[in-house]
Structure formats: structure tokens, C-alpha cells
Structure 1
Amino acid sequence: MKPYYWESQHGNFGDDLNLWLWDFLLPGFRDVHPETLLVGVGTVLNRVLLPEDGKKLVIGSGFGYGSLPDMSNADDWDIRSVRGPLTAGKVGIAEEFGVIDPAVMVADMPEFQGLGKVHRRSFVPHWESASAGVWPAVCDVVGLNYIDPRGEAKDVIRQIAHSELIVAESMHGAILADAFRVPWIAVTTSESINSFKWNDWAQTLGVSYRPRHVPVSTRAEARMKGARFWGREFDARDPQPEDPNQRAIDGETLVAIREPRQTSLRTAAKQLLAAPSAFALWQASRAEPQLSRDTALNSRKQRFLEVIEGVRRDYL
């Protein structure tokens, strides 16, 4: 069996953790059923992302972008659980199949136990914001630890666990924070952030998605997202492609990605232009955080382990 994950061209820890999480949850799964694709963590129930042929075993995946694949053939699709009730409704299965995002199980792995607190407050942007914005500089201004979601997945997760509070534009930043019992605050920089997938997960734990708005930090970020920057409106590409890797990234953004070094004068200028972002992010970091109830999280994790036990019985 082979795990599927969506591979961002720039890196995204919430998808990359598929490379090792399933070895913890289903030891030996790689050695059986070579014809089966394990479709796990991520918003990947998308006709463009998944192959049409071959059997797919779905454990905790979500819908949120593009259109669903044709999942009518039971010989090709074994759906054991999905991320939440909204995905279950889209797929046309009972709400009880919307168990939880499997990423919460990372907190049970031995290597992530006993992690002490190092950072008082941390910010985890969406990977698109990290690619086009100047969020490390913004975080320096307002005293937040910056966590790059494009970093090595285990390092990103440890930084989340090491934090006393997480400000998250990245959904998996909030999911992992909640799993490690770290209070979190949701923010959003534009309408390009997918609220469907956030609400899908939130409803499984009885929390709510009420993101605080933080302006984009650069013109390149505004162009990428179709947002406003210093009074100027930028048009988003419409419609957006179903594969997130095909989203338009303009030349200015590519320069920022490929040439991260900046002169001190240019850095100072960008920090000045990002002042509204800094103020809003500072305000957000002082807002009332959320955290699901221990009983809600433990109940969902137990239901997910029952799903895993069924997969183990039938496949291993």
C-alpha cells in the first residue's frame, strides 16, 4: 500500500506528514496490497489530484477545492472516514463517517512527548502567505515566533508544541495546536483561505471558525490572492485552478521566493508598508483563544482508532 499526499511545490507540513504518520498508525501497511492507494491527511478529495484508476482507501481526507472525483464504484473506493461532517455530506455518506482529521494523532507519537514550552506566542501562516509575504519581519516587529509551514514537518510540529499560544492562518497549524492542547486563534489574510475545510474540522470538535482579518503584507501577496494592499484592489484569477500548484504566481512573488535576501533599506521599506499587517496580527495575538474540550478530542480520537483497527483487521 502506498500513501498519497499532495506535494506542494514550496512545501507544506500538513501534507508532508503523510510521509511518516501512517507508519505509526498502521505499521507494515507499505508491505501489503500494492494495488491500494492510502488517501489520508489533506484536502485531496479532488478529481484533479487523485488518479482515476486503482483502489483508494480513504482515511480522514477532506474536500474543499475543485470538484469531487467519481466515487460511485465501490470496487475502487473504500471510504473508512473523512475529515468531518461537511466532507461526508459532499461525498454522500453518513455524517458519522466525518470523524476527525488524522493529523491529531501526531500528538500520540512517542517522539513528540514531553515537549516543553519555548515560545510564548507563535504565528503559522498559510503556505501561500509564507511564499509571497514578509511575515518573518512582521513577527519580529510584534514579538511573535514565526513558524514557516513550508519547513520540515516534524520541526514545524515541534515548534507548535513548544508554543504557549498559536495564531494560525494554516488550518493544520490550528489542528496540531489543538491536538497538543495549545490554545489557538484563527486569522485570515484574504478570501482565498478555504473556510469550508476549517469548518469541516471545527465541527468535529465543537469549536468555531471565526477568523480575525489581518491584511496582506506585500503587494505580491495581494496580487497572488486578489486582495487589497494600501488602497489598491488586485483581481484574483477566476476561476482558480483545481490543483493548488497551478495557482498563478507573478514574477514579483517569484523573486521574493528565490531571492529571500534583501538589503536593510529594502527590508525597512517593506516593514513600513506591512505596518497594518503588523498591527492587526498583534491585535489578533491578544484575542481570546480557543481550545476544544478534552472530552471532545479524546472521543474523536477513540473513534478514529476504531477506524484504524478496522483497516488493520481488513488489510494487514
Structure 2
Amino acid sequence: MDPYYWESEHGNFGDDLNLWLWDFLIPGFRDVHRETLLVGVGTVLNRVLLPEGRHKLVLGSGFGYGTLPDMSDSREWDIRCVRGPLTAQKVGVDPKLGIVDPAVMVAEMPEFKNLPKKHKKSFVPHWESAAAGIWPIICGTVGLHYIDPRGDAKEVIREIAQSELIIAESMHGAILADAFRVPWVAVTTSNSINSFKWNDWAQTVDVTYRPRHVPVSTRAEAIAKGARFWGIGFDARQPALEDPNKRQIDDSAMVAVRDPKQTSLRVAAKQLLAAPSALSLWQAARATPQLSTDHVLAERKERFLDVIESVRRAYL
């Protein structure tokens, strides 16, 4: 059995954790049923992503982009559970199968237990914000620890677990924070953030997705997202994609952001232009955070483990 995950060329820890999470949850799964594709963490129930004609075992995946594949043939699809009730409704399965995002189970891995706290407050942006913005600089300005979602998945997760508060534009930043019992505040920088998938997960643990708006930090970020920057609106330079993870960040727009030879005057100018972003992020760090109850999260984990046990009986 092979684990499927979307491998972003930018890097995205929420997808990359598929590389090792399933070895913990279903030891030995790689050695059996080579014809089966294990479709797990991620918004990957998408017609253009999953191959036709191959048997697929769905464990906690979500819908959110593009068009659903035809999942009606039980000979090709074994749908044991999906991310949440909104995905279940879209797929047309029992809402009870919308259990939780499997990423919550990372907190059960021994290597992530009892980690010491190192960071008071941390910010986890969406990968697109990380690619085109100046969020590390802004975080330094407002006293936040910056966590790059494009980094090594295990290191990103450790930094989340070792924080006392998470400000999350990345959905899996919030999911992992909640799993590690770290209070979190949701933020968004543009309409390109997918609220469907956030709400899909949020309903499983009885929290509400109510993101605080934080303006984009650079012109390059506004161009990438089709957002406004200092009153000037930008149209996204690319058409809508079946999978937004395939969006390219315009290299010409990025030069001013990543050029190490910038003068101190230019850096200061960028920081000045990003002042609204800094203020909004500072305010978000002082907002009332959310956290699901221990009881609700434990109940969802137990239901997911029941599904894993059924998979072990059927496949191993």
C-alpha cells in the first residue's frame, strides 16, 4: 500500500507529514496490498489529483478544491472516513464518517510528547504568504516567533507544540496546535484562504472558524493573491486552478523580497509599508484564542482509532 500526498514544490508540512504518520498508525501497511493507494491527510479529494483505475483507501481526506472524482464504485474506493461533515456531504456518505483530520494523531507519537515550551507566541502563515511576504521581519517587529510552514514537517510540528499560543493562517497550524492543546487564533490575509476546509475540520471539534483579517505584507504578496495593498487592487496573475497548491509565485515580483543586497533604506521602506500588517498581527496575538475541549477531541480520536483498527483487520 502506498501513501498518497500532494508534494508541493514550495513545501508544506501539512502534506509532508503523510510520509511518516501512517507508519505510526498502521505499521506494516507498505508491505501489503500494493495495488491500493492510501489517501490520507490533505485536501486531496480532487479529480485531477487522484489516479483513475487504482484502488484507493480514504482515511480522513478532505474536499475543498476543484471537482470531486466519481467515488461511486466500491471496487475502486474504500471510504472509511473523511475530514469532516462538509466533505462527507459532498462525497455523499454518512455524515458520521466525517470524523476528524488525521493530523491530530501526530500528538500521540512518542517523539512529540512532553516537549518543553520554548516560544510564547508563534505565527504560522499559509505557504503562499511565507513565499511572497516579509512575515519573519514582521514577527520580529511585534515579538512573535515565526514558523515557516515550508520547513521540515517534524521541525515545524515541534515548534508548534513548543509554543504557548499559535496565530494560524495555515489550517494545519491550527489543527496541530489544537491537537497539542495549544490555544490558537485564526487569521487570514486574503480571500484565497479556503474557508470550506477550515469549517469542515472545525465542526468536528466544535470550534468556530472566525478568522481575523490581516493585510498582506508586500506588493508581491498582493499580486500573488489578487489582494489589495495600500489601496491598490491586484488581479491574480493566474487563472483559478483545480489545485491552488500549483499556483506559482511570480519570480519578478519576488526579487524585491528576497534580494539580500537591499539597502537599509529599502528594508525600512518595506517595514513602513507593512505597518498595517504588523498592527493587525499584533492585535491578533492579543485576541481571545480558541481550543476544543479535551472531551470532544478525545472522542474524535477514539472514533478515528476505531476506523484504523477496522483497516488493520481488513488489510493486514
Q: TM-score range by the shorter chain?
A: over 0.9
| Pairing 1:268–2:277 present | no
Matches within 5 A, 1:277-288: 277-288=277-288
Question: Is there any run of 5+ residues in structure 1 with no aligned partner, and where?
Answer: none
Q: How many Å apart are 1:269 and its aligned residue?
A: 1.7
Q: Secondary structure at the match of 1:140?
A: helix
Question: Is there any run of 5+ residues in structure 2 with no aligned partner, and where?
Answer: none
Q: Call closer, same or farther: CA 1:261–1:3 in 2, change over 3 Å.
A: farther
Q: In the aligned structure 2, how far is the partner of 1:139 from the partner of 1:295?
A: 33
| Pairing 1:242–2:242 present | yes
Q: Deviations over 1:217-263 (max 9, x none)?
A: 00010011111100101113575111224324323344367656644
Q: Which amino acid aligns with 2:296?
A: A
Aligned residues: 316
Q: Which amino acid aligns with 1:138?
A: I
Q: Call closer, same or farther: CA 1:287–1:302 in 2, change over 3 Å.
A: same
Q: In the aligned structure 1, how far is the partner of 2:232 from the partner of 2:257?
A: 23
Q: In the aligned structure 2, how far is the partner of 1:213 from the partner of 1:253?
A: 23
What TM-score, normalized by structure 2, do the two folds share? 0.97
The range that moved more, 230-239 or 164-173, is 230-239
Matches within 5 A, 1:103-118: 103-118=103-118
The range that moved more, 168-177 or 241-250, is 241-250
Q: In the aligned structure 2, how far is the partner of 1:257 from the partner of 1:28?
A: 45
Partner of 2:83: 83
Partner of 2:11: 11
Q: Secondary structure at the match of 2:196?
A: helix
Partner of 1:212: 212
Q: How many Å apart are 1:153 and its aligned residue?
A: 0.2
| Pairing 1:196–2:196 present | yes
Q: Does the CA contact (< 8 Å) of 1:63 and 1:87 recur in 2?
A: yes
| Pairing 1:149–2:143 present | no
Q: Secondary structure at the match of 1:38?
A: strand
Q: Does the CA contact (< 8 Å) of 1:39 and 1:61 recur in 2?
A: yes
Q: Secondary structure at the match of 2:74?
A: coil
Q: Secondary structure at the match of 1:71?
A: coil
Percent identity over paired residues = 76
Q: Does the CA contact (< 8 Å) of 1:121 and 1:145 recur in 2?
A: yes
Q: Secondary structure at the match of 1:68?
A: coil
Partner of 2:227: 227
Q: Which amino acid aligns with 1:103?
A: A
The range that moved more, 247-256 or 72-81, is 247-256
What TM-score, normalized by structure 1, do the two folds share? 0.97
Partner of 2:134: 134
Q: In the aligned structure 1, how far is the partner of 2:195 from the partner of 2:216?
A: 17
Q: How many Å apart are 1:150 and its aligned residue?
A: 0.2
Q: In the aligned structure 1, how far is the partner of 2:155 from the partner of 2:161?
A: 10
Q: In the aligned structure 1, how far is the partner of 2:88 from the partner of 2:158?
A: 31
Q: Does the CA contact (< 8 Å) of 1:124 and 1:170 recur in 2?
A: yes
The range that moved more, 232-241 or 20-29, is 232-241
Q: Secondary structure at the match of 1:215?
A: coil
Q: Does the CA contact (< 8 Å) of 1:47 and 1:68 recur in 2?
A: yes
Q: Which amino acid aligns with 2:204?
A: T
Q: Secondary structure at the match of 2:11?
A: coil
| Pairing 1:125–2:125 present | yes
Q: Which amino acid aligns with 2:272?
A: L
After superposition, the CA RMSD in angstroms is 1.4
Partner of 2:162: 162
Q: Does the CA contact (< 8 Å) of 1:131 and 1:257 recur in 2?
A: no
Q: Deviations over 1:286-312 (max 9, x none)?
A: 000000000000000000000000000
Q: Does the CA contact (< 8 Å) of 1:132 and 1:256 recur in 2?
A: no
Q: Secondary structure at the match of 1:81?
A: strand
Q: Deviations over 1:27-74 (max 9, x none)?
A: 000000000000000000001111112000000000000110111111
Q: Does the CA contact (< 8 Å) of 2:133 and 2:257 recur in 1?
A: no
